[in-house]
Structure 1
Amino acid sequence: MTPVPPAPPRPASERVAAVLPAALDHGLLCGHAPVVGFLDTDGIRASVAALHTAFGAAPDVLHTFAAKAASLVPVLRLLAAAGMGCEVASPGELRLAREAGFAPSRIVLDSPAKTRQEIAEALALGVALNADNLDELERIDALRADGCASVVGLRVNPQVGGGAIGAMSTATATSKFGVALRDPGARARVVEAFARRPWLTRLHAHVGSQGCPLELIAEGVAETYRLAEEINAAVGHRQVTSLDIGGGLPVNFADDGVRPTFEDYTRALTAAVPGLFDGRYGLVTEFGRSLLAKNGFIAARVEYAKRSGGRRIAVTHAGAQTATRTVLMPGSWPLRVGAFDARGRAKAGPPVAQDIAGPCCFAGDLVAEARELPLLAEGDYVVLYDTGAYYFSTPWAYNSLPRPAVHGFTVDGTGARFTTVRDAQTLDEIAAESGARHADGLLALTR
């Protein structure tokens, strides 16, 4: 029996309206839990279904989830159950993927700084890996045993240019990732590297993510496709059998709308590379933010409401420790903010310009400046929308602020139901993480 695909989720603002009061009733948001992350399980499953549908014309495709976008084992296990693989970029992420139950054959290891030990472990497990450079291929030569089950690829930088956010653009002329194809002699060296290694069967490229237009991403994929054709022609047979085209679909943070969609992306790919979905090459994708961002939010209590220099300021418990990119790069990562009262109901009233400040001890810890919202007061709540990816799953330990709890939810005819994804970090755990067991270590050196 074919499983019924999940229904498209309601807009994020509607989900928050249903979930926030219930979370307060359940005590998930309270005095000792003033900031919490929430994830919509149905929304995540619907996003995965939309991805699979958009690539339905491709006869051989492995969709992997970029673990860095939500490095939480229950999230990864949910994605594995929904038919995803997992892309990892460190030993820690590989461990999380294995804890989540991904088969090694559905895990792809990417990193520009793999050690020999990391490479050896991946090869022993049968995990696929993409070498970042030609020197790394030399290491794989020495470590790879006959009969190894790992698919091995080479990452190339098509150097097609950058998007609106330089830090998120990975196909610029000087990007640290991959073999720069347009550098003198580089293309010939890549072809020669494949000719010397019959087991090297995959090409990988990733142009960037937020701020990169679909046409730019598609151009990078097209350049990679052309290189695969060139390699296969040079070696005289079909050695390159798959293309890892990365992820990078941008997310709309301006409103509830999902745009661009995965369907928009596949249309752009088809226009740039007409043969991409004909089955000549297996495909691997590595989406992260586009699957999770719209399916999560942060809720935080307003601890104080004050005024400074004529500006109203709401001091909350969500700042740089959870919304790091937004605080440090507000022009590139603006977030929508919602205002709710102490019972979780949307606040009414005339909009007033307010700064939404966080708890971190530096002046720039502002999630939003001069944002027009109903006037916030002590005990109210703010919601940061579209934060299901990266925000609360990879917190910053500034001021030794504890990592917030994360809860999953579903909403049905009976209301909202919750489950714990990650417990809030305790003060004992902060002390242990900060070396409490070795408290006298430095003093010992002074004796």
Structure 2
Amino acid sequence: MVKFVVEQAGGMSSVHLYGAQTVNNKGHLEIGGMDSVLLADTYGTPLIVYDTGLFRSRARAFKRTFSDEGVPAQVAYASKAFSCMAIYRLAEEEGLSLDVVSGGELYTAIRAGFPAERIHFHGNNKSEEELRMAFEEGVGCIVADNFLEISMIGRLARGSSRRMDVLIRVTPGIEAHTHDYITTGQEDSKFGFDLNNGQADEALRRLSEIPEIRVLGLHCHIGSQIFDTEAFGLAAESLIGKMDSWRRERGFVCSVLNLGGGFGIRYTEEDHPLEPEEYVKSMIRTVKRTTEEASYPLPEIWIEPGRSLVGDAGTTLYRAGSEKTVPGVRHYLAVDGGMSDNIRPALYGARYSAALANRMDEPHDARYTIAGKCCESGDKLIEEALLPGVREGDLVAVFCTGAYGYAMASNYNRLPRPAVVFVENGEHRLAIRRETYEDLVRLDAEPATVGKEGIR
């Protein structure tokens, strides 16, 4: 990330840019070599723009670090952050594995041509239908999350012609420093088997009784938007301790240790994440040290970056609309999207930064509350954004919207979901078309007529 600085009376004003973002001689924001004003004119707004070059560089950095350290590994894109056929194809091009959490994500991946043997199927309440799809498509691994699921896996495995690899998801009792809604590794969690009360041991026992199943090892995910390596190290030590006890007590050796994802990104100046490589290097050091101390064979390390691959690769472009000043309180600026395409600020107070994409070289020194157009008082994207004096039709860029924006988008107020475009090296291509009003009613049943005889 770089800082773009503009002069203003009495000082300087700065706007942070991400990845391949620059400002051209027109004062327009460029993303991946494309003028954002041209993109908005071509595809309309709201528009989510992904710098796929940044995705590629992040993916390569994760993979290269494992390779340089001589550690066998899989890097799986945690696609709940943003799922569509185009991003799955990009992940496949970069040699990533894929983490899916539903039948819909699995179906999308298969339709995109993603190799099924590199797909890991997650989820805390997989249906038998979803698990059957996983067996039929030949996914590479199922991450078992609960005892009901183990029973279903057993029934399906006995009727299948292929052996299924399984990881056991556990909660190691590690509480990462993150928001309560996105913390998943503590003991009080809906995910996984408790590592410390015997649940994980019982899960291994039940899975070991199914000849058609091969247990690879343990999986954990301790949370999201994590800025330090300490929690990952504690989780690794805890899981390796359990793995070592299984070796001593059962003669079972885990071949895979999956430490999940959750690597933080920079949304605002207050965020201070590490580079992707630093998270990986710290994990490797801890795993090597802990396994050496226990004389335990070094397992293959799997990780699942999601937000850190797509988060700051995405920028949402909006058109500025109405304004309202509440004297002494705030100045509202409404845009043509909002919580329907980015619910994170309303859901758990997520913070973002913004700029005027068509006037980047002007002082960003006026304070606005950027509000959406949904009929909710809480539909605010940014509480205090610094922008130039905004005019109707200006192009507002909200940065780092690539993770859990479109993925959590809705048709609230019957608003169509935005288009998504990929840009790289001065070229652009449509990834997801903009929904139309016709799309909104496509699944509606035809209106019924109500008469004396009832509905017909």
Q: Same fold (TM over 0.5)?
A: yes
**Does 1:280 find its partner at 2:286?**
no
TM-score (normalizing by structure 1): 0.87
Structure 2 residue aligned with 1:200: 215
Structure 1 residue aligned with 2:264: 250
CA distance in 1, matches of 2:450, 2:301: 52
1:363-378 equivalence runs, <5 A? 363-378=377-392
Query: Contact between 1:151 and 1:202, CA under 8 Å: does it hold in 2?
Result: no
Structure 2 residue aligned with 1:303: 321
Query: RMSD of the TM alignment (CA)?
Result: 2.7
Q: 1:204 to 1:119 in 2, by over 3 A?
A: same
Query: Contact between 1:11 and 1:256, CA under 8 Å: does it hold in 2?
Result: no
Structure 1 residue aligned with 2:63: 52
**Does 1:42 find its partner at 2:53?**
yes
Structure 2 residue aligned with 1:232: 247
Q: 1:305 to 1:347 in 2, by over 3 A?
A: farther
Q: Work out which of the residue numbers 35, 54, 62 in structure 1 matches 2:74.
A: 62
- Give CA deviations for 1:141-177 in whole Å, capped at 9, x if unaligned: 2220365243112111111224230111111221000
CA distance in 1, matches of 2:96, 2:377: 41
| DSSP-derived class of the 1:294 partner | coil
Q: Work out which of the residue numbers 144, 150, 156 in structure 2 matches 1:131.
A: 144
Give the AA of the match of 1:301: R
CA distance in 2, matches of 1:367, 1:223: 39
The structural deviation recorded for 1:80 is 0.5
Query: Contact between 1:242 and 1:284, CA under 8 Å: does it hold in 2?
Result: yes
Gaps of 5+ in 2: 1-16
Query: Contact between 1:203 and 1:244, CA under 8 Å: does it hold in 2?
Result: yes
Query: Contact between 1:254 and 1:335, CA under 8 Å: does it hold in 2?
Result: yes
Query: Contact between 2:117 and 2:138, CA under 8 Å: does it hold in 1?
Result: yes
Structure 1 residue aligned with 2:9: none
Structure 2 residue aligned with 1:5: none
- Give CA deviations for 1:34-64 in whole Å, capped at 9, x if unaligned: 3101011211111111111122225421211
Structure 2 residue aligned with 1:3: none
| DSSP-derived class of the 2:74 partner | strand
Gaps of 5+ in 1: 1-8
Query: Contact between 1:12 and 1:385, CA under 8 Å: does it hold in 2?
Result: no
Structure 1 residue aligned with 2:359: 345
Query: Contact between 1:168 and 1:211, CA under 8 Å: does it hold in 2?
Result: no
Between the two proteins, the alignment pairs up a number of residues equal to: 424
Query: Contact between 2:29 and 2:36, CA under 8 Å: does it hold in 1?
Result: no
Query: Contact between 1:36 and 1:298, CA under 8 Å: does it hold in 2?
Result: yes
The structural deviation recorded for 1:378 is 0.7
Which stretch shifts more, 251-260 or 109-118?
251-260
The structural deviation recorded for 1:197 is 4.5
TM-score (normalizing by structure 2): 0.85
Q: Work out which of the residue numbers 130, 133, 141 in structure 2 matches 1:118.
A: 130
The structural deviation recorded for 1:214 is 2.3
CA distance in 2, matches of 1:188, 1:256: 41
Query: Contact between 1:77 and 1:100, CA under 8 Å: does it hold in 2?
Result: yes
Query: Contact between 2:62 and 2:280, CA under 8 Å: does it hold in 1?
Result: no
**Does 1:290 find its partner at 2:308?**
yes
CA distance in 1, matches of 2:312, 2:450: 46
| DSSP-derived class of the 2:164 partner | coil
CA distance in 1, matches of 2:270, 2:20: 6
Structure 2 residue aligned with 1:316: 335
CA distance in 2, matches of 1:81, 1:256: 34
Query: Contact between 2:48 and 2:418, CA under 8 Å: does it hold in 1?
Result: yes
- Give CA deviations for 1:195-238 in whole Å, capped at 9, x if unaligned: 53462232211111124642112211221222222222322253
The structural deviation recorded for 1:337 is 0.9
Q: Work out which of the residue numbers 392, 395, 405 in structure 1 matches 2:419.
A: 405
CA distance in 2, matches of 1:283, 1:270: 8
1:105-184 equivalence runs, <5 A? 105-127=117-139, 128-145=141-158, 148-183=162-197
CA distance in 2, matches of 1:232, 1:283: 18
| DSSP-derived class of the 1:172 partner | coil
Give the AA of the match of 1:139: M
